[in-house]
Amino acid sequence: MSDWQRVLHGSVDSLDKLAEKFGRDQIDVEALKPAFENFQMRITPQILEQIKEVGDSAWQQYIPSTQELDVVDGVIDSLDEDGDSPVPNITHRYPDRVLFLVSPVCASYCRFCTRRRKVGDPEKIPLNQYDSAFDYIAAHPEVRDVILSGGDHMMLSDRGLEYVFQRLRAIPHVEIIRIGSRITAHLPERITPEFCEMVQKYHPIYMNTHFNHPSELTPDTVAALGRLANAGIPLGAHTVLLRGINDDPAIMKELMQKLLRARVKPYYLYMADQVAGGEHFRTTVQKGIEIIQALRGWTSGMAVPHFVIDAPGGGGKVPLLPEYVESMNEDEVVFRNYAGERYVYKQPVITVPAAEPQVLPMRAARKASPKRRKAGNE
């Protein structure tokens, strides 16, 4: 057993263990059983250390709640990933890339998970059906980008990870491999020197991490991110807008700036999906636009993620922006800058060159033939 697997075994993965950790006055085991049975729980030592008090950002993200049982307009497969799945473990929604689910498990389980219908269940993300996924990718030359997810791809052993990398690199048209993982926040010990040495053989490989609150960037996590960056892996970050956790411009600004210091480029800020069991995490779209307005211009542009809604029903990511343009016509554009000041940009005067007159070639006039006199007219 490797060191990171030993650390993982120290996780809290039952309600009784949770009650022992935080007290039965805070953890009502009987009341939480239905939520636990709907979606399993595992909380790593790294996350446990981040929980400072009941109801803080880490508590809300990982401790089961009876609110998960209140379903109003939530949908089990809110993004209709299964509808775009031609073979097991593959979702092919966009023209040149596919999502490849390669692991059913995570180090810790986020209670807002959009894939909670299948994450944690090896029968729903089967490890014995990789071949059909590889065959599908190989048969579709338009696929140049493969995103590895699950579950968490980084929960595989180094041997398992390398097998996936090797199979993908044997497909000539696969240009980019991306890893979607929250492992650096959940289990930074997983980023071993051995993994960092192995992965360099299969570049270009990118990693999209996942951070929702500044407190998640602990010294151990930042060190793990540094090891990945030093191994030549470009790092991006996904963030989910969560009510009562990070729906505050000051918190989000601190998070984005800390990510950049850790050599991670903020990539997407997602509206929380309309997934059944996670509705209590959702805030308004207006709040997301307010946060982007508080970032754009007030901090480095590199610290401003794309704010998107992953369209319900499988429409894909749709970017949302604050409205800076007040009016636009052929002469000028009137807009506001980040501070709300109004400016005018004059439209260029575009002149269309006059068409040269068309000169038709002259033809020589044809001589008229002498008319023949008709008999009897003389």
* Residues 146 and 174 sit within 8 Å (Cβ to Cβ): yes
* Residues 294 and 253 sit within 8 Å (Cβ to Cβ): yes
* Residues 272 and 112 sit within 8 Å (Cβ to Cβ): yes
Q: Dihedrals φ, ψ of 103, to 5°? A: -145, 135
* Token reading at 219: 């010294």
* Token reading at 240: 């989910």
Give Cα 148 to chain centroid, integer Å. Answer: 12
DSSP 64: -
Q: Which of 25, 31, 1, 14 is nearest to 109 (CA)?
A: 14
List Cβ neighbours of 230 (8 Å cut-off, separation of 6 or more): 196
| 88 exposure class (CB count in 10 Å sphere: 0-12, 13-18, 19+) | middle
53: left (phi over 0), alpha (psi -120 to 50) or beta: beta
Please list the active-site residues: 93-94, 97, 106, 110, 113, 115, 273, 310, 317
Cβ atoms within 10 Å of 340's Cβ, excluding its own? 8
Q: CA-to-CA distance for 195 and 163, rounded, in angstroms? A: 13
Q: What is the SS3 assignment for 201?
A: helix
